Structures are given as structure tokens and as C-alpha cells.
């Protein structure tokens, strides 16, 4: 095994992944500014995040096919080219619709990068050091969100929102050029068929569910379907998608090989990741709205306040990974999920006069909880399936992760908006009404966390791929 080559490939993928995730989190602090500059509502502008995550949830299943058919270097170039092109469109976008289109193209590249990184890391890292390797991945996934809001706050405090993308563009082009020169092929492609009906079914499934959740609490207009109907349509298509994958497994060419769910650890990990991603992305979208529109902080102050927690989460990644290699997942997951749940319940008490220091402390503590969750979840899930299913396992995790994130953003914002509107209609002051809406969103996250607490006690350390 060429250790130097493996380290080079993983490091290049880590750098590229850092860039695409940094872009994803720049948007969190910018939501209030974009609402003002583009003259759109919170429900409309949140589609910049929801469309990004939804596109990823639709494209990620296809990466299982791509990782089997295409070698490491060309698929890396494809991912970064899509991302860079989307970033260029964002720089030039004249309105919200064009900006959403840019985010969709960016997401298409990001969707390829994440499973590529995780699958390659699982293939190249020996079992005894997988926790450490996944710890570095978690660091990248954590530090980028930590820097993103702060960088966004600095940019928006002095410059136009377009600079968020203008500064990312040369970095993404640099990563593309560097990777195209230095990236090496480490996989052995083989024949695999792309099932187009499965792609269509997955698009309607996740699209219907997320769109339905985004419409919760919003009255259906003339000629439009209620939120519950859209959600039901998504669930029906999801059932059809699952049925088709089970049928295609007999021929050996499913879009997503669901035999990964034969592993109990993998199944529980996916459930935990889905619930925690909903809570994480919902929190990421609500906190800036609360800090700026209720407590009156500016974008720079908001970014700086969110920096310590995100940075600490990233710094803990390698440490948690080494702990995983020593003690396994259970001793890390149980305290992690409990800490997250407790903080989310405290966030249901936020009001117009809550001290900023309390928010800072809560964000730091919940970030520590998340740090003890994601490294073990990524590691134990893929370590519990056969090596031949790594690409499918990564695609399943990526799909669930992004769909859950999109659902969390849509659901939290919809609940916040609906509750705030009802309180305002009842005569409550605007700030108090919005604070009440934020509490409703965090109540949803706290309730979801209870499910995660129940799931975590069924986890166990994988002795080998199940």
C-alpha cells in the first residue's frame, strides 16, 4: 500500500471538501441581509439553503453509480468544475431565482465531493485508524461551518453579499487546478448501469417531502396543494423508490443498494444522523435570525458569536476520532446526544431579553455535543457494512444527511413563521412574536432529539462488517 499516495489523495479531498462546505455555511448569517436586499420573505429566501440541500439529496444517490464507473481524478474534476461554475453564476446573479439556480449547480458538485471523500477514506484507511481518519473529516466538516458565518459576517458588514461568492470563486478554481494536477486514481472502475427511473423517483420523493415541510403553517393559495398533500406525495414516491431498489438488487444494479440496512449499526446510525442533521441545520438557520432580528446584533457580531462553538467542534474532531479507536462509539454517542438534547430544550426558553452570553454558552456546549456525535456516526456506519458496499453506504448516508438537513431547515423556518404570524395576529409585539416563533422551531428540534436519545442505546461497536 502506497502510504504517501493515499495521504496525498485524502488531503486533496479534504481541502476541496472544506471549500464546498465553507460555501454552504456562508449563507446562514446572510439570510436577513438577503431578505432585505432582494425584497423577499423568510420563506422564500430559505430556499437558497433548502434548494441546495434538496439538490444534494437528489444527486448524492447517483454518486454511488459514479464512484463505481469513474475513477478518482476525473470525478474530482467533475465535482469541482460544477461547483466553480455555480459559484460564478452566483457572483453574477441578478435576482433570487438566478441565485437559487446557482446554488443548485453548486450543490451538484458538493454532492459528489462528500461521498467521494468518505468512500475513498474508508478504502484507504486501515480499520484500526478509521476513527482518526474520520476525525479529520469531521474537523473539516466542522471548521468550515465555524469559519463560514464569521467570514460571512465580516463580508456583509463591509461589502455586498456578492462578495461571499466572489471570494470563494478563486479558492474553488485553485482547488480544481491543484487537484487536476496532483490527484491520483486509487479506485478500479467497473461496469454499472444507471437506472433513470430511480433517479426520477428519488427526485419526486425528497422534493415532495421537503416542499411539503417547507409549506407547514402556510395557507395554500388558489390552485396549490396543501403542505400535507405534498408531503404525502413525497412519501408515496419514496415508497416506490425503495420498492424499485429492492427489486433491482436482484439484478445487481440498484441506484442505492439498500442491503446496507441489513446492518443494525448502519440503520441506527442513519436514524441518529437524520435526527441530528435536522436539529443541526434547523439551529444554524434559526440562530442568526434570532440574534439579528430579535436581539439586534449585526452580521459581524453574529458571525463572531457563532465562531467559538464551531471552531471547538472542529478541533475536537481528531481527538474524538482517536477516542473512537480506543473505546468505540457508545461511550461517545450517549453523552453527545444527551448534551445536544438538553441544550435544545433550553433553547425553547429564548426570548427578546435573553442575554447574549447565554446564547454563546449554549452554542459552545451544543457544538461539543455534536462533536461527540458525527465522527463516531460516520465511522461506525460505514465500518458496519462490507467493503463492496462502501460507495452505496456513503451515498445512503449523504442522501439521508442532506434530505434531513433540508427538512430541518424547511420545518424550523415554517414553524417559526407560522407561530410568529399567529402571535402577531393576537396582538403581541413584533419582537415578542418572532421570539415565540423561534421557540416553536427549537421545540421541534428538542422533540426530535428525544427520538435520538432513544435510538443511541441500541448502538454497539462493530467487530467487523456485518
Q: DSSP of 231-289, one letter per residue?
A: HHHHHHHHHHHHHHHHHHTTTT--SS-GGGGGSHHHHHHHHHHHHHHHHHHHHHHHHHH
Regions of the chain where pLDDT drops below 50? 1, 465-466
Q: Which residues contact 300 (CB under 8 A, 6 or more apart)?
A: 153, 154, 156, 157
Residue 26: Cβ-neighbour burial (10 angstroms; 0-12, 13-18, 19+): buried
Q: Do the beta carbons of residue 198 and residue 245 sit within 8 Å?
A: yes
Kindly report the CA angle at 450 between 292 and 290, in degrees rounded to 5? 5
pLDDT, position 361: 93
Would you say the pTM of this structure is higher than 0.85?
no
Give the number of other CB atoms < 10 A from CB of residue 86: 26
Using the structure block, give the residue that is written with the C-alpha cell 436586499: 37
> What is the model's pLDDT at position 383?
81
Asked if 41 and 35 count as a contact pair (C-beta separation under 8 A), the reply is yes
Query: Class for domain 3-182+255-456, per CATH?
Result: mainly alpha
Rounded CA separation 303/416 (Å) = 21
219: left (phi over 0), alpha (psi -120 to 50) or beta: beta
d(C-alpha 329, C-alpha 321), whole Å: 10
Query: What nine digits make up the cell of 145?
Result: 461551518
The span from the CA of 68 to the CA of 86, in Å, is 25
In whole angstroms, give the CA distance from residue 116 to residue 394.
8
Looking up cell 427526485, which residue turns up?
203
Residue 373: CA atoms inside 13 Å, Cβ hemisphere, count?
32
Q: What is the structure's pLDDT at 443?
A: 92
Cell of 204: 419526486
User: What pLDDT, on a 0 to 100 scale, did the predictor assign at position 364?
Assistant: 92
Largest pairwise CA distance in the chain: 69
Question: Between the CA of residue 20 and those of 175, 201, 207, 280, what are the distances in Å?
Answer: 10, 27, 22, 18
Phi-psi region of 252 (alpha: psi -120 to 50; beta: other; left: phi over 0): left
Yes or no: say if 234 and 211 are a contact pair by the CB < 8 Å rule.
yes
- CB 111 within 8 Å of CB 402: yes
Residues 6+ apart with CB under 8 A from 422: none
> Could you identify the residue written with the cell 463516531?
376
Could you read off the pLDDT of 182-225 as tens digits, one per residue?
A: 777 766 666 667 778 888 888 888 777 777 766 665 555 566 67
Gap between the Cα atoms of 133 and 118, Å rounded: 10
pLDDT for the residue 466: 47
Contact 83, 59 (CB under 8 A): no
Query: What is the rounded CA–CA span in Å between residue 365 and residue 404?
Result: 22
Orientation of helix 3-37 relative to helix 47-69, angle to 10°: 160
Burial 378-417 (b: 16+ CB within 10 A, else e): bbbbbbbbeeebbbbbbbbbbbbbbbbbbbbbbbbbbbbb
Amino acid at each position: 500500500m502506497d502510504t504517501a499516495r493515499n495521504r496525498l489523495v485524502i488531503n486533496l479531498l479534504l481541502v476541496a471538501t472544506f471549500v464546498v462546505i465553507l460555501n454552504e455555511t456562508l449563507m446562514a448569517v446572510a439570510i436577513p441581509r438577503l431578505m432585505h436586499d432582494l425584497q423577499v420573505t423568510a420563506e422564500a429566501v430559505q430556499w437558497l439553503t433548502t434548494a441546495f440541500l434538496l439538490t444534494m439529496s437528489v444527486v448524492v444517490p447517483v454518486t454511488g453509480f459514479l464512484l463505481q464507473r469513474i475513477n478518482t481524478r476525473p470525478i474530482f474534476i467533475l465535482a469541482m468544475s460544477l461547483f466553480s461554475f455555480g459559484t460564478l453564476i452566483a457572483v453574477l446573479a441578478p435576482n433570487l431565482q438566478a441565485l437559487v439556480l446557482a446554488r443548485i449547480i453548486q450543490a451538484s458538485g458538493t454532492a459528489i465531493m462528500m461521498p467521494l471523500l468518505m468512500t475513498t477514506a474508508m478504502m484507504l484507511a486501515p480499520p484500526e485508524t478509521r476513527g482518526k481518519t474520520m476525525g479529520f473529516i469531521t474537523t473539516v466538516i466542522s471548521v468550515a461551518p465555524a469559519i463560514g458565518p464569521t467570514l460571512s459576517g465580516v463580508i456583509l458588514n463591509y461589502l455586498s453579499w456578492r462578495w461571499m461568492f466572489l471570494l470563494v470563486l478563486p479558492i474553488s478554481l485553485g482547488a480544481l487546478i491543484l487537484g487536476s494536477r496532483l490527484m491520483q486514481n486509487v479506485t478500479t472502475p467497473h461496469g454499472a448501469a444507471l437506472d433513470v427511473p430511480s433517479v426520477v423517483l428519488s427526485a419526486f420523493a425528497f422534493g415532495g417531502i421537503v416542499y411539503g415541510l417547507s409549506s407547514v403553517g402556510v395557507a395554500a393559495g388558489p390552485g396549490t396543494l396543501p403542505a400535507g398533500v405534498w408531503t404525502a406525495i413525497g412519501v408515496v414516491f419514496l415508497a416506490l423508490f425503495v420498492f424499485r431498489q429492492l427489486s433491482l438488487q436482484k439484478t445487481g444494479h440498484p441506484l442505492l443498494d439498500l442491503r446496507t440496512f441489513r446492518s443494525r449499526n448502519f440503520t441506527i446510525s442513519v436514524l441518529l444522523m437524520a435526527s441530528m442533521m435536522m436539529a443541526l441545520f434547523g439551529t444554524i438557520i434559526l440562530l442568526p435570525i434570532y440574534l439579528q432580528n430579535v436581539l439586534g446584533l449585526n452580521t459581524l457580531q453574529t458571525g463572531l458569536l457563532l465562531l467559538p462553538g464551531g471552531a471547538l467542534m472542529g478541533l475536537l474532531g481528531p481527538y474524538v476520532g482517536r477516542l473512537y479507536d480506543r473505546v468505540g462509539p457508545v461511550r461517545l454517542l450517549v453523552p453527545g446526544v444527551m448534551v445536544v438534547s438538553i441544550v435544545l430544550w433550553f433553547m425553547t426558553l429564548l426570548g427578546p431579553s435573553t442575554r447574549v452570553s447565554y446564547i454563546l454558552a449554549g452554542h459552545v456546549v451544543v457544538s461539543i455535543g455534536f462533536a461527540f456525535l458525527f465522527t463516531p456516526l460516520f465511522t461506525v456506519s460505514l465500518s458496519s457494512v462490507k467493503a463492496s458496499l462502501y460507495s452505496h453506504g456513503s451515498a445512503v448516508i449523504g442522501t439521508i444527511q442532506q434530505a434531513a438537513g433540508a427538512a430541518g431547515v424547511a420545518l424550523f423556518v415554517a414553524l417559526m413563521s407560522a407561530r410568529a404570524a399567529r402571535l402577531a395576529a393576537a396582538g403581541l409585539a413584533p419582537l415578542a412574536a418572532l421570539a415565540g416563533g423561534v421557540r416553536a422551531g427549537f421545540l421541534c428540534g428538542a422533540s426530535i432529539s428525544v427520538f435520538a436519545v432513544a435510538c443511541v442505546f441500541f448502538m454497539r461497536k462493530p467487530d467487523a462488517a456485518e
